[in-house]
Amino acid sequence: MKQILQSYRSGELWLADVPVPALKGNALLVRSAASLVSAGTERMIIELAKKSLVGKARARPDLVKKVIAKIKTEGLTQTMQKVFSKLDTPLPLGYSCAGTVVEVGRNAAGVKPGDRWAGGGAGYASHAEYNYVPKNLCVELPDGVSFEDASFTTLGAIAMQGVRQADVRLGERIVVIGLGLLGLLTVQMLKAAGCKVLGSDPDADKCKLAVELGADEAVAGGLEGVSAAFTDGHGADAVIITAATSSNQPIEIAAEISRAKGRVVVVGMVGMNVPRDPFYRKELDLRLSMSYGPGRYDTEYEEAGHDYPFGYVRWTEQRNMQSFLELAAAGSVTPGKLITHRFPIDDALKAYQLLEGKGPGGAAERYLGIVLDYPGAESAGPLPRTVQLRTVSPNAKAGIGFIGAGNFTRGVLLPALKRAGDVELVGLCTATGMSAAETGKKHGFAYATTDYEKLLADERINTVFVTTQHDSHARFACAALSAGKNVFLEKPLCIKPEQLSEYVQAVSNNSGPCLMVGFNRRFSRHAAAVREAFASRGTPLAVTYRINAGVVPKDVWLQDAEAGGGRIIGEVCHFVDFCESVIGSRPVRVFADCIASGDARITPEDSVVITITYADGSLATIQYLAHGSPSLAKERIELYADGITAVVDDFVRTTFHGSRHSAVKGRQDKGFVSELAAFLDCVRNGGEWPIPFESLIRTTQATFAALESLRTGEAVSLPHRVN
pLDDT of residue 457: 96
What is the Cα–Cα distance from 223 to 238, expressed in whole angstroms?
14
In this predicted model, what pLDDT tens digit does every residue of 619-677 receive, in sequence order? 999 999 988 888 888 999 999 999 999 999 999 999 999 988 899 998 899 999 999 99
The domain spans of the chain are: 2-151+334-373, 155-288, 386-517, 521-717
Assess whether pLDDT exceeds 60 at residue 361.
no
In this predicted model, what pLDDT tens digit does every residue of 596-606 receive, in sequence order? 777 777 788 88
**Is the preceding peptide bond at 492 cis, omega within 30 degrees of 0?**
yes
Assess whether pLDDT exceeds 90 at residue 559.
no
Burial label for 180, CB within 10 Å (0-12, 13-18, 19+), is buried
pLDDT of residue 406: 87
- Signed CA dihedral, 689, 694, 695, 700: sign only: positive
The DSSP bridge partners found for residue 508 are none
Task: Give the mean model confidence (pLDDT) for residues 332-343.
Answer: 96
What is the Cα–Cα distance from 723 to 333, expressed in whole angstroms?
64
Strand, coil or helix: 657: strand
pLDDT of residue 396: 62
Task: Give the mean model confidence (pLDDT) for residues 363-373.
Answer: 88
How many CA within 13 A on the CB side of residue 640?
8
Domains 2-151+334-373 and 521-717 share a fold: no
What is the Cα–Cα distance from 524 to 301, expressed in whole angstroms?
42
CA-based angle 374:377:380, to the nearest 5? 150
446 contacts 389 by C-beta, under 8 angstroms: yes
Task: Give the mean model confidence (pLDDT) for residues 198-207.
Answer: 96
First and final C-alpha spacing in the chain: 46
The DSSP bridge partners found for residue 101 are 30
Assess whether pLDDT exceeds 60 at residue 542.
yes
Q: Which residues lie below 8 Å from residue 544, measured CB to CB, with a gap of 6+?
A: 620, 621, 623, 637, 638, 639
What count of other Cβ atoms lies within 10 Å of the Cβ of residue 682? 19
Domain made up of 155-288: CATH architecture: 3-Layer(aba) Sandwich (3.40)
551 contacts 666 by C-beta, under 8 angstroms: no
Q: How far is CA 610 from CA 268, 456, 646, 701, in A?
A: 50, 38, 20, 13
What is the Cα–Cα distance from 594 to 606, expressed in whole angstroms?
8
Residue 720 pLDDT class (50, 70, 90 cuts) = confident
The DSSP bridge partners found for residue 649 are 636, 653
Task: Give the mean model confidence (pLDDT) for residues 510-534.
Answer: 91
CB crowding 66-84: b at 16 or more within 10 Å, else e: eeeebbebbeeeebebbbe
What is the Cα–Cα distance from 171 to 155, expressed in whole angstroms?
25
Q: Which secondary structure element, helix H or strand E, spans residue 423, and what is its range?
A: strand 423-429
Strand, coil or helix: 605: helix
705 contacts 587 by C-beta, under 8 angstroms: no
Total residues found in the chain within this entry: 723
pLDDT of residue 602: 73
What is the Cα–Cα distance from 171 to 231, expressed in whole angstroms?
11
pLDDT of residue 429: 97
User: Dihedrals φ, ψ of 720, to 5°?
Assistant: -70, -35
181 contacts 198 by C-beta, under 8 angstroms: no
What is the Cα–Cα distance from 61 to 655, expressed in whole angstroms?
42
Range list of β-strands (E), 360-422: 369-373, 386-388, 398-403
Residue 44 pLDDT class (50, 70, 90 cuts) = confident
Burial label for 137, CB within 10 Å (0-12, 13-18, 19+), is buried
How many CA within 13 A on the CB side of residue 406?
8
What is the Cα–Cα distance from 138 to 118, expressed in whole angstroms?
5
What is the Cα–Cα distance from 261 to 279, expressed in whole angstroms?
9
pLDDT of residue 72: 63
Residue 552 pLDDT class (50, 70, 90 cuts) = confident
How many CA within 13 A on the CB side of residue 300?
10
pLDDT of residue 88: 72
Can you say how many angstroms the Cα of residue 452 is from the centroid of all Cα atoms in its chain? 20
The DSSP bridge partners found for residue 601 are none
Strand, coil or helix: 163: helix
Q: Which residues lie below 8 Å from residue 115, measured CB to CB, with a gap of 6+?
A: 100, 101, 140
CA-based angle 600:603:607, to the nearest 5? 120
What is the Cα–Cα distance from 267 to 290, expressed in whole angstroms?
8
Q: How far is CA 140 from CA 27, 135, 182, 568, 654, in A?
A: 13, 10, 22, 42, 62
What is the Cα–Cα distance from 72 to 311, expressed in whole angstroms?
45
What is the Cα–Cα distance from 175 to 240, expressed in whole angstroms?
6
What count of other Cβ atoms lies within 10 Å of the Cβ of residue 444? 13
Lowest mean pLDDT among 22-26, 182-186, 514-518, 570-574: 22-26
Percentage of the chain lying above the pLDDT 90 cut:
71
Residue 587 pLDDT class (50, 70, 90 cuts) = very high
In this predicted model, what pLDDT tens digit does every residue of 116-152 receive, in sequence order? 999 999 999 999 999 999 999 999 999 999 999 999 9
What count of other Cβ atoms lies within 10 Å of the Cβ of residue 572? 28
Mean pLDDT estimate for the chain = 91
Strands 236-241 and 258-266: parallel
pLDDT of residue 392: 76
Angle between helices 61-74 and 76-87 (to 10 degrees): 140
pLDDT of residue 511: 58
Q: How far is CA 48 from CA 41, 52, 280, 290, 358, in A?
A: 11, 9, 35, 22, 18
CATH of 2-151+334-373, one of 4.10.910.10, 3.30.56.10, 3.90.180.10, 3.50.50.60: 3.90.180.10
Q: Which secondary structure element, helix H or strand E, spans residue 509, and what is its range?
A: helix 500-509
CATH of 521-717, one of 3.40.50.720, 3.30.360.10, 3.40.50.1820, 3.30.420.40: 3.30.360.10
Render 141-154 in DSSP notation, one character per residue: PPTT--HHHHTTHH
Residue 78 pLDDT class (50, 70, 90 cuts) = low
pLDDT of residue 65: 77
Task: Give the mean model confidence (pLDDT) for residues 79-85.
Answer: 70
Which of the pair, 487 or 110, is modelled with greater confidence?
487
429 contacts 454 by C-beta, under 8 angstroms: yes
Strands 644-649 and 653-657: antiparallel
In this predicted model, what pLDDT tens digit does every residue of 10-20 receive, in sequence order? 888 899 999 99
How many CA within 13 A on the CB side of residue 501?
2
Assess whether pLDDT exceeds 70 at residue 394.
no
515 contacts 678 by C-beta, under 8 angstroms: no
**CATH class of the domain defined by 386-517:** alpha beta
323 contacts 120 by C-beta, under 8 angstroms: no
What is the Cα–Cα distance from 497 to 475, expressed in whole angstroms?
13
pLDDT of residue 557: 85
Lowest mean pLDDT among 24-38, 145-159, 476-490, 499-513: 499-513
Lowest mean pLDDT among 349-358, 542-551, 603-612, 667-676: 349-358
